[in-house]
A and B are shown apart, each in its own frame.
Chain A
């Protein structure tokens, strides 16, 4: 308040305000007094002349002198009195004007801080009249809805502008609008989080909004809506849900592994005993060998399940990724049919990572097997390596990814690609698109579990009809940790 008064006295002091009011009044009074004096004097002199008391109006006699003196005294007194009355009037008016100036200044300041408040929030805010037309909007409102300035909304029907359809594209009539209901029936949900708002470019985003009424004498004449874009929150929730699901599946896998091993022991053991007994009399039936092969596969499956459950103890050593790929090439080739070629595109740079050699090789084999199965009629599988530097921005706030230098192992096929709707599911245990009997579904879950255990992550890029690329990101370590395999410095 003090500041405001200081500003006001700086602008126009009380004294100048007073003079501004008083001087015209005083001038008018003096002029009026002078005019009255001259008028009265001439009419008096005329009368005296008519009655023959003086010879001419210009005559100077004791009578005219007395008249002038009398007139001077009375008119001066009246003028002075008038000035005395004018002064307080002028003062009062100056005071009123100063108050008006203060109020005006305060209003301007209030308006400025309200605008500042509105424009400084992350939340988009807009208000409408009872017909739903925009009467106010802040900068965030424009930013979130993809407009350049909030003034563009003024006078427009907000519902028709950015709330016209549901998330699935079906129309959302204004009569059903939960925000607009605040005006029509006076109540609205405290917080709506299951709707979308539409941007200027025609895209939609999930929104969380709340509505507040504008009241005038118990009548609702509009509403103010506050909203935020919750895309990021939704994404994090999805990620969390996915992680929890994977965690639960992992626990389940760990839990059944023990019983599973016992069951396998019983099957394989009895088969071996039977084999032994039969050997004494007749040749070994081939079916028994098949049972043992199945047990072997079951054992491998248990191991994959445990890798997925992240409970398997891993024996990590510093190793060079390109070398590992080269060492695995011959074995990998054996996984492929004749119509599929394996192509390596390895980076020149040494990619030192800390990893379990056997598990990582298994990851590579699983990815190659998957690539092979994605191309039933053959094609090319490209295994590539690269070094990537990921900063905070490229990680994009994903919780389980840390910025740093990563060694990337990419397996690219020329198959059908993975449709968007199943891309989320491919790392779930037992999820498979292969025909019954062709895959257990643990392949990619094992990749997911193992890579996660190594502090890395997996990315899938896929375009329908153009093949898929699985990228395994593993954190690199300093080259000095690499033991020299030749034993020479």
Chain B
């Protein structure tokens, strides 16, 4: 049982992923873009962040980089379905080089997401990125 911040601009996708996480017995707070997520992160200490990469306003890469620079960086799972300009594979490859615990490709199954959450929560706390 953990507190997870879920960031995705598509409300229907958010509902689905929230449903998955609730099946796993987790508590979920939602944000629809990177900017909103920053506010949530300041207000609440979460155990894990699950973020989409391609979003309007402030994208997933920004969330990853800015939260990695905080004093207590959260664990992060990035999840993407590609973008009109960059393919899923390219985005996943970029995300893998960033301070994230796991990178997943859409569509993701309930099982795969919950396993990734489990692994991320069990992993040691990340260090602040200087």
Contact (A269, B20) CB under 8 Å given A262-B10, A313-B93: yes
Across the interface, name the chain A residue whose C-beta is closest to B83: A258
Point out residues on B near A: beta carbons under 8 Å: 10, 12-13, 15-17, 19-20, 23, 54, 81-85, 87-90, 93, 105-110
Q: Are B20 and A261 in contact (CB under 8 A)?
A: no
Q: Are A273 and B19 in contact (CB under 8 A)?
A: yes
Q: Are A312 and B89 in contact (CB under 8 A)?
A: yes
Q: Are B87 and A262 in contact (CB under 8 A)?
A: no
Contact partners of B85 in chain A: CB under 8 A: 254
Nearest CB in chain A: distance from B26 CB, A? 14
Contact partners of B107 in chain A: CB under 8 A: 261, 264-265, 267-269, 295, 299
The main secondary structure of chain A at its interface with chain B is helix
Residue among B13, B23, B88, B93 with the most chain A CB within 10 A? B88
Q: Are B19 and A269 in contact (CB under 8 A)?
A: yes
| Extra pairs beyond A276-B110, A311-B90 (12, CB < 8 Å) | A255-B84, A257-B87, A265-B107, A266-B12, A267-B107, A269-B17, A269-B110, A272-B20, A306-B88, A311-B87, A313-B87, A313-B89
Nearest CB in chain B: distance from A345 CB, A? 35
Contact partners of A466 in chain B: CB under 8 A: none
Contact partners of B108 in chain A: CB under 8 A: 265
Q: Is A270 an interface position by the 8 A CB rule?
A: yes
Contact partners of B16 in chain A: CB under 8 A: 265-266, 269-270, 273
Q: Are B88 and A257 in contact (CB under 8 A)?
A: yes
Q: Are A268 and B19 in contact (CB under 8 A)?
A: no
15 sampled A-B residue pairs with Cβ under 8 A: A254-B87, A255-B84, A257-B82, A258-B84, A261-B106, A261-B107, A262-B13, A265-B107, A266-B12, A269-B16, A269-B19, A311-B87, A312-B87, A313-B87, A313-B89
Contact partners of B84 in chain A: CB under 8 A: 254-255, 258
Q: Are A261 and B23 in contact (CB under 8 A)?
A: no
Nearest CB in chain B: distance from A279 CB, A? 10
Contact (A270, B19) CB under 8 Å given A258-B81, A262-B13, A262-B106: yes
Residue among A254, A260, A272, A311 with the most chain B CB within 10 A? A272
Across the interface, name the chain B residue whose C-beta is closest to A259: B81
Q: Are B87 and A264 in contact (CB under 8 A)?
A: no
Nearest CB in chain A: distance from B81 CB, A? 3
